[in-house]
Structure 1
Amino acid sequence: CIQGNQVTLPKLGEVKLIQHRQVPDGFTIKRALVTKKADGWYVTLTLEDKSVPDLPAIEIQPTETNSIGVDAGLEYFIACSDGTRKQPPKFYRQAEDKLAKLQAKRDARAKGSKPRRKLNERIAKLHQRIARQRRQWHFETAGELVAKADVLFVEDLKVSNMARRNKPKQGEDGAFLPNGQSAKSGLNKSFADAGIAGFLNEILPYKAAKAGRLVVKVNPAGTSQHCAICLNRVPKELSDRWHECPHCGASMPRDLNSGVLIKKVGLGVRLTIKRESRNGRRSPRRTA
């Protein structure tokens, strides 16, 4: 279906094409997916070659030397058990002022007019550029992590729950009270800008499988409330960004402590989480 710089599509006929790379010999084109994006139309070809074997199941026994723990967050996008830390580039925050100016100009134009349509196209292309910058940075970061160890322990985070809106509060007279949603909105924007969910659930497992590495998700319960050295519980608020253990004297950034603890949990260490009950007594709860 590809001849020179043209591709033949059903019901459309021959369409001019800028080919990204050549179709390898021996592969059969099974289908073509046509999509419209901000900067033009794209056709994605699905290929098949029955002689190519399926990827073998990755079986690696995690040990202390061939594994690392990776804590994902906002202050540091990744904080590894080996001390590596990497801050998020915040591509959306960098382009926020430019987006605001374009949107203000767009809103000043009449609906349905050509200038408004042109500004909408510029806004869409800017959003597309931000998404592509973030995705490229994610792939580069995943490649760096995959090169560090054979087994990567990460938290099994539910980012959608972390970014959920706060429940409204009402007083006795029925009036709505402040519920902290204004500050939470900024936090949710940072979650979306970092793209933690896409990195942990899609890009990192893909890069690891391609390199023959293993990504293991661990229970995140307690990984920020315990000391990674002595495993004693050290309660912290979200605003507390430094870990100080009164039991063993360990002192390190909070995210680095979590990275070390994630590795220990992945290797089989169990954490005892004590929660405050309403009557003031502590009730132990064990989690893996």
Structure 2
Amino acid sequence: MDSTSREIEGAVKTVTIKRDPLGDLYVFFSCEIEDRPNHRVVSGESAGADFGLKTFLTFSDGSEEVSPLFYREGRKAIRRAGKKLSSKQKGSNNRRKARMALARVHKRIANQRRDHHFKLARRLALRYDHLFLEDLNLKPMQRLWGKKVGDLGFSEFVRILHPQAGKAGSVVHHIDRWFPSSRMCSACGTVNEALDLKDRRWRCACGTVHDRDRNAALNIFREGASSLGLGDVRPSGAIAV
């Protein structure tokens, strides 16, 4: 019975078989294919996106993407498998099996997260001609929110997004991590030096009240579009956020 998800394209040059620590086998095909022009339909849409904890991605066009917390949802299964492992005698075959069972729970969670990331990356690559992101500085976020940052998998998603964008013919562009996207008012350009990572809403001296993530997404879009020469995208007048 054929269980392949899609046909192998091109001429197969090499086949590599790998076994992971759980004993599962993977077959990797290296194929030679013709260089084909990308016939992607241009959407005319571009956006900046800001990573967040409550909302995985907030976009400058007002849309949002929420990501499931797969590790949090799988904690009961992890605890059950962990209890079974701790009850087995050290060095026994049953303990080895229990350890493998726990590892499989973690692997299933990682696969669920990866599958979600691939589907989201493909969808965004087809939606936007240009997508602007901030170069992530995860250490401060991990100090504040710990495992939740790892559960969302920001860095893993970015690694998946780039090749998906390349296949779709769209562009992912990163702005400098030190650009004050969250602290800059998207209406007047003033930088709020007192803003803390915990502050989700703030009022600028110009009177504009900001949602932190939406304001950051707007600033990321403007900075990214400006750096690519896509037009004059500097703040001009008050913008409702």
TM range (shorter): 0.7 to 0.9
Q: Which has the larger radius of gyration?
A: 1
Whose helix fraction is larger, Structure 1's or Structure 2's?
Answer: 2
What is the identity, as a one-letter code, of the residue corresponding to 2:185? Answer: C
Q: Is the CA contact (8 Å cut-off) linking 1:74 and 1:88 kept in structure 2? A: no
The equivalent residue for 2:163 is: 206
Output the CA distance in 1 between the equivalents of 2:3 and 2:26. 9
Q: Does 1:83 align with 2:65?
A: no
TM-superposed deviation, 1:20:
5.5
The equivalent residue for 2:31 is: 47
The equivalent residue for 1:219 is: 176
TM-superposed deviation, 1:243:
3.2
- Comparing 38-47 with 189-198, greater Cα deviation is found at 38-47
Matches within 5 A, 1:112-123: 112-123=91-102
Output the CA distance in 2 between the equivalents of 1:245 and 1:80. 21
Output the CA distance in 2 between the equivalents of 1:204 and 1:38. 27
Output the CA distance in 1 between the equivalents of 2:23 and 2:211. 42
Matches within 5 A, 1:183-194: 184=143, 187-194=145-152
Output the CA distance in 2 between the equivalents of 1:111 and 1:18. 39
Q: For residues 223-278 of structure 1, what are the alpha-carbon distances to aligned partners after superposition, in whole Å with 9 as ceiling and x for unaligned?
A: 1111112111223211111132231x32342111111110011122689xxxxxxx
Q: Does 1:38 align with 2:22?
A: yes
The equivalent residue for 2:217 is: 259
Whose strand fraction is larger, Structure 1's or Structure 2's?
Answer: 1
Question: Structure 2-normalised TM-score?
Answer: 0.81
Q: For residues 66-101 of structure 1, what are the alpha-carbon distances to aligned partners after superposition, in whole Å with 9 as ceiling and x for unaligned?
A: 420011122211000011112221100111132123
The equivalent residue for 1:97 is: 76
Output the CA distance in 2 between the equivalents of 1:42 and 1:141. 24
Output the CA distance in 2 between the equivalents of 1:82 and 1:90. 24
Residue from 40, 48, 59 that aligns with 1:69? 48
Structure 2: gaps of 5 or more residues: 227-232, 236-241
Structure 1: gaps of 5 or more residues: 6-16, 165-183, 272-288
Q: Is the CA contact (8 Å cut-off) linking 1:73 and 1:196 kept in structure 2? A: no
The equivalent residue for 1:131 is: 110
Output the CA distance in 2 between the equivalents of 1:147 and 1:243. 33
The equivalent residue for 1:176 is: none
Q: Is the CA contact (8 Å cut-off) linking 1:243 and 1:257 kept in structure 2? A: no
Question: Structure 1-normalised TM-score?
Answer: 0.69
TM-superposed deviation, 1:19:
5.5
Summarize the Cα distance change of 1:230–1:92 in structure 2 as closer, same or farther, 3 Å threshold. Answer: same
Runs of 4+ with deviation above 3 angstroms:
17-24, 161-164
SS in 2 for 1:98: helix
Summarize the Cα distance change of 1:33–1:102 in structure 2 as closer, same or farther, 3 Å threshold. Answer: same
Q: Is the CA contact (8 Å cut-off) linking 1:39 and 1:125 kept in structure 2? A: no
What is the identity, as a one-letter code, of the residue corresponding to 2:197? Answer: L
Q: Is the CA contact (8 Å cut-off) linking 1:68 and 1:263 kept in structure 2? A: yes
SS in 2 for 1:267: helix
User: For this pair of structures, how many residues does the alignment match?
Assistant: 224
